[in-house]
Amino acid sequence: MTVATVAAVVIAWLQFRDDTTAARSTHWVVWATIAIGAVWLGYALLVGAVLVLGRLFCLSDVCRGPLGSPT
């Protein structure tokens, strides 16, 4: 879904750029695609960063065992 979102945002951005060059008004769907896509991509990057940092600092039971267990 993230790859499709990136593709949609890139296409919407290209449409916006073309509209700006031709001095046309940009359709509201282009603006909505850019706005919603940017929010979704920001969320996906945040979740990805949390997962990577969780794995990096060993914050799950998978790499350190459950809390309260004898080591």
Distance (Å, whole) CA 13 – CA 64: 45
Of the two residues 28 and 59, the one the predictor is more confident about is 28
**What pTM was estimated for this model as a whole?**
0.71
Of the two residues 57 and 69, the one the predictor is more confident about is 57
Neighbours of 37 (CB within 10 A): 21
Of the two residues 60 and 44, the one the predictor is more confident about is 44
Average pLDDT, the chain: 87
Residue 71 banded pLDDT, cuts 50, 70, 90: low
